[in-house]
Amino acid sequence: MKVVVRIFLAVFIFLLVSMNIHLIGHKRTSKVVHFPGTVNKRQSSEFKILSYNVFNLPTSIFANHGFRLKQLSKFFSKITSEVDIIVIQEAFTLKYIVPLKQFFEGMKWSVVYADPSENNWTFINSGLFVASRYPFVHFESINFRSCVMFDCWSKKGALLVQVKKNNKIHTIVTTHLQDATFDLSGYTRVQQLKEIASLTKRYKNVVVVGDINLDPNRERDKVPCNYAKKMFGNVVHPALPTFEALKLDCAMGSTVKNVKRIVPSYDGFVSDHYPIIVTIVQ
C-alpha cells in the first residue's frame, strides 16, 4: 500500500511541477523570427487564408520527415495561387521550420515564426508559422499563461500578423488552443481566448484561425465556443471534419465569410488534420 501511495505522490508531484514550470520567468511577449519577402499580388478581390496543422511533433522520431515535407511542398506549390496567406500549426522542430522557411523564401513570400531558441523552461516552442505573399505591416506574438497537462511542455500561444491587400489592412491571428482531452470544462481554453482577446483589443476586423480545438457539437466545447462568439463575433466551422470526426480547425471573427475543408492528394500519411481555407469579407 505504501508503494502505491508513493507512486501516486510521485506522479502527482511530477504533473504539478510540469504544469507550472513554464511560469518560471514567464513572459507574455514571445520572440519571433522574421524573413521579409516581396509583394506577390493575387488578382482577386477576396482575401483567403490557408490553415494547416502539419503534425510535426517532437515525439515523431520514427516519422519519415523527408517524405512528409516533399508531399507538403507539392501541396503548397499548388495551393499558393489560391490563397493570400498560410498559417501553420505544430511546426515544432527545425526539421520542418527550416525547409518550410526555405520553400516560401524561394517563392519570395514573407515568413515569420516562433523563435525555437526561446523555449525557456519548456521543451518546444508554440509551433506557429506564417507565410504571406504580402509583406508584414506588423507582427507580434504571445505565450499563453494558462495550460493543462502536456500542453504545458510547449510555449503555446498566438501569433498575430498584419498584411495589406487592396489598400486594406488584414489582422490575422493563428493559434493552437489547449487539447480538450484534459480540459473537460473548457476553463483553460476560455482563459487562452481571453489572452488572445487582450492581444487583439486594439485592432479592428480581427480573424483568429488555426487548430482551435473547438467542435460545435461536443459538450466539453460549448463553454469556450460561446465565449469565442461573444469575444470575436462569430465562430465558423467547415461543413466536414478536420480531425477524425471532429471539426477542430476553424476561424473566428465577424468578417469570416466561409470556411472550407480541403483534401490534399498525398502518396501516403502526412498529417492527422485536414487543412482549411478561410475566406474573409473584403
Q: What is the pTM of this model?
A: 0.91
Specify the pLDDT at position 24.
56
Domain that includes residue 92, residue range: 2-280
Q: How many domains does the chain have?
A: 1
Across the beta sheet with 47-56, the strand order is 32-35, 110-114, 129-132, 85-91, 47-56, 276-280, 256-261
Specify the pLDDT at position 11.
46
Specify the pLDDT at position 1.
63
CATH number assigned to the domain comprising residue 97: 3.60.10.10
Specify the pLDDT at position 58.
81
Q: How many CA atoms lie within 13 A of 267 on its CB side?
A: 10
Specify the pLDDT at position 12.
44
Question: Which segments of the chain have a pLDDT < 50?
Answer: 10-12, 14-18
Do 161 and 35 meet the contact criterion of CB atoms below 8 Å apart? no
